[in-house]
Structure 1
Amino acid sequence: MKRLRLSPLLFRRIHKWIGLILGLQFFLWALSGSMMALLDMKQVGGHDAAEIHAHPLPTPDRLIDPARIPGVRQASGLVLRDLAGSPVYEVRTEDGIRLFGAHDGHPIRIDAALAKAAASQMTEAPIRDVVALPKPNLEAREHSGPMWRINFADAANSSAYVSAETGRVLVMRGDTWRTWDFFWMLHNMDYVSRTSFNHPLIIFVAFGTLWLSGTGFYLLFKSFGRADFRWLRRRRSRPEAPVTTI
């Protein structure tokens, strides 16, 4: 049985093919990084709920006492806030978050119409359609729970994501962000969730790059011979010119 001999020729062949494979990923890293840097940061960032211009809340004397609302006494938290121009009580219980009208105490369910009203505070563009999502998609992956996706008929093809539990606008995305997200996927090599930067694939590529660098230095030194340093020996053996004094 012929034994495998570890020689510079073998390392050179392996180095060549691994360099070709990793070189493609290096190209994708450079391309994706350049494209992400060229995109407008403000357009990529989109808009979040903090940018909504909420209506001023009425004084407490014009609202119902939260203690009169059934189920509020067992709540672990209560917030008075604006929802599509109307004051509501957001009550946190063991079963989740519940909403009640602050004027009458009636329970509120976030349906398509209310989600559209909440999302309309983000932009004046006309609404194209509304889609119910039982769980977040890639565009709203930072959030959890069921939500509504409201698509607008504007130049950016904007989409607002509204929580089906709280009615809050979670995030708003556009075509610029979607372009950035595609190149972000290529950059961090997470082709499934697009969130992890320490998954097995990128770890494998990182160690492959380290091996490629090590073998590259090995082959670099192996490629030199004595003839390459002949000019240095000639320079050392050259006699110095005599110094004459006047």
Structure 2
Amino acid sequence: MKRRLSPMAVRRAHRWLGLFFSVTVFMSAASGVLHTAMSRTQSAPPPVRPTGGGLDASKATVTLAEAVAKLPDPSAVVEAVNVRQVGGEPWYQIFARGVPGAFYVNAASGRLDAGRDQAYAAQIASEFLGGGSPVKTGYLTKFDSEYVNIFRVLPVYKFDLADGKGTRVYVSTTTGSVTRHTDDSRQFEASIFSNFHKWMFIPNKDARDFLMVAVTSGVIVVSALGVVLFFMTRPRRRPVQTVQQGAATHA
């Protein structure tokens, strides 16, 4: 046991484990530097407050009870209701328990429109981008490598703008806002950070979490070995009495 804990054995373990795990330390340090740079190059999160050209409340002549009666199942439990201005008209956005998505009932005519959600999402994207004609390229019900879980809101529509920069936005009709705005340049930085800091190049989350915990634990072991080695190899101070006896002998 004593031989196994000799300074040479600890030094050898510290050296080789340190070399092996230094890759992860480098990745963490590099991603930290990049994160600081990204705080200056990445745009701030979009405002959560819904945008639009204003709502003419006088047009909303249909009562909420009448609007709920227009649902496919009028007895459904209504959990939330918003009034949205879509295409210049007021619409009830109704969320019912156990039903994914929302129902849209025109607050002026009482008409139920199943396709109004996507039209509302396109309107949000166009207003955020200052006009243009963004094209819907996706509908996300789970997170992916670009729209990661730090953005939290699902589901979202993805819209791309043909501006030569690869500009794209993610839109939530539940919040009535853009939840993420990016382009090719910003996403290049974000991808490097995700791969270095969170190991997103490993697609399986369970495997990724296991490996990150394993290598982080290895870094802790290397650090602990360094502390142990420091105390094992520190210079020993000779007792004062021994020093005085040696001096007397020489005299």
Would you say same fold, with TM above 0.5?
Answer: yes
Residues 1:93 and 2:96 are matched in the alignment: yes
Q: Letter of the aligned partner of 1:25 in structure 2? A: T
Deviation at 1:104, TM superposition (A): 1.4
Partner deviation per Cα, 1:185-223 (whole Å, 9 max, x = no partner)? 422445557999x93333323322221122112222333
Q: Using the TM superposition, name which of 211-220 and 182-191 deviates more.
A: 182-191
Asked if the contact 1:44–1:180 (Cα under 8 Å) also holds between the matched residues in 2, the reply is: no
Matches within 5 A, 1:1-246: 6=4, 7-41=6-40, 43-50=42-49, 53-60=51-58, 62-69=60-67, 70-71=70-71, 74=76, 75-94=78-97, 95-96=99-100, 97-108=102-113, 109-110=115-116, 114-124=120-130, 126-127=132-133, 129-136=135-142, 137-141=144-148, 142-145=152-155, 147-154=156-163, 157-163=166-172, 166=174, 168-175=176-183, 177-178=186-187, 179-180=189-190, 182-189=192-199, 191=201, 199-225=209-235
Identity %: 20
Unaligned runs of 5+ residues in structure 1 are: 240-246
Deviation at 1:37, TM superposition (A): 0.6
| Secondary structure class of the residue paired with 2:46 | coil
Asked if the contact 2:145–2:200 (Cα under 8 Å) also holds between the matched residues in 1, the reply is: no
Partner deviation per Cα, 1:59-112 (whole Å, 9 max, x = no partner)? 246432232232366423322122354321011212242111222122232475
Asked if the contact 1:79–1:90 (Cα under 8 Å) also holds between the matched residues in 2, the reply is: yes
Deviation at 1:149, TM superposition (A): 1.2
- Rate the CA distance shift 1:201–1:44 in 2: closer, same or farther, 3 A: farther
Deviation at 1:181, TM superposition (A): 5.1
Partner deviation per Cα, 1:105-149 (whole Å, 9 max, x = no partner)? 22232475553233101012634632133534333342223x431
Asked if the contact 1:139–1:173 (Cα under 8 Å) also holds between the matched residues in 2, the reply is: no
- 2:170 & 2:161 partners in 1: Cα distance? 11
Q: Letter of the aligned partner of 1:135 in structure 2? A: T
Partner deviation per Cα, 1:139-193 (whole Å, 9 max, x = no partner)? 3342223x43111234753212234x75934413213652235314422445557
TM-score w.r.t. structure 1 length?
Answer: 0.72
Asked if the contact 1:90–1:100 (Cα under 8 Å) also holds between the matched residues in 2, the reply is: yes
Asked if the contact 2:61–2:107 (Cα under 8 Å) also holds between the matched residues in 1, the reply is: yes
Q: Letter of the aligned partner of 2:110 in structure 1? A: G
Q: Letter of the aligned partner of 2:15 in structure 1? A: K
- Rate the CA distance shift 1:131–1:36 in 2: closer, same or farther, 3 A: same
**Matched length:** 227
Unaligned runs of 5+ residues in structure 2 are: none
| Secondary structure class of the residue paired with 1:140 | coil
Partner deviation per Cα, 1:14-34 (whole Å, 9 max, x = no partner)? 211210122121111111111
CA RMSD of aligned residues (A): 3.8
| Secondary structure class of the residue paired with 2:108 | coil
- Rate the CA distance shift 1:13–1:63 in 2: closer, same or farther, 3 A: same
TM-score w.r.t. structure 2 length?
Answer: 0.71
